[in-house]
Amino acid sequence: MFTVIVGCSTTGYHLAKRLLVEGNEIVIVEKSLPRCQMMWDEMGSVIMQGDGSDPADLRRAGAARADTVVAVTGRDETNLVVCQIAKHVFSISRTVAAIKDHKNQSIFRVLGVDAVVNVSDLILNSLEHSVAGNNLIRLTSLRDPTKSLVSVIVPADSQAVGKGISQVVDKQELKQSSVSLVLRGNAALHPTEELKLEADDEVIAIASADEEQRLYEMLTGA
């Protein structure tokens, strides 16, 4: 998969490192020359100095053949422009944007951004669940307002350890939810029948609001 990341903020940096570890092809477009110079020694030619809201610079980054464009510049308006150019100039099938102001979420969705990640909500959710001792975090809302992308950490004492997803997650009970991915160390694993859950696995799932608590209980044994 080839991903163009616009913005080498902390979010962009860590996303880029994760994608590289998983064997993906990436290019990071960063406007700040000093920041590019700081990152070139570590990440080399995947860093390109340029303006991701300029179609010419996006083309230079390879957007014409990209599978996904991710906009994480730190400015909501810039991220929206980047995604609009990706969709309408380069016909990118998948666009992802980070936002800081939750009021912008509906605007981004109406204008066709495929995935909108509210950074403030992520931080608040993480803090709330950490304080409560809960291993479930809502990563982002989806176009369907009744569902969210959630993350559940499998604790070492969970009965789910050593079992497959289908043995743990009862699809008869959770009709509106599904496991999408299992993160283990630096690896992203598809939830196949052969995959057995291990302690500290991070399970990424699409969950309906009325089923996420039960999903959490199934994975953690709480």
Distance CA 57, CA 103 (A): 29
CA distance 106 to 31: 27
Equal fold, 2-118 vs 134-220: no
Q: What is the pLDDT of residue 114?
A: 87
How much is the pTM? Answer: 0.62
List the domain boundaries for the chain: 2-118, 134-220
- For 73, which DSSP code? S
CATH assignment of 134-220, among 3.30.70.1450, 3.40.1280.10, 3.40.50.970, 1.10.1380.10: 3.30.70.1450
If you average pLDDT over every residue of the chain, what do you get?
86
CATH number of 2-118: 3.40.50.720
Contact 151, 137 (CB under 8 A): yes
CA 73 from chain center: how many Å?
A: 15
pLDDT digits (tens, 9 = 90+) for 48-83: 999 999 999 999 999 999 999 999 998 999 999 999
Contact 151, 204 (CB under 8 A): yes
Give the angle subtended at the CA of 140 by the CAs of 68 and 47, to the nearest 5°.
Answer: 35
70 sits in the region (left: phi over 0; alpha: psi -120 to 50; else beta) called: beta
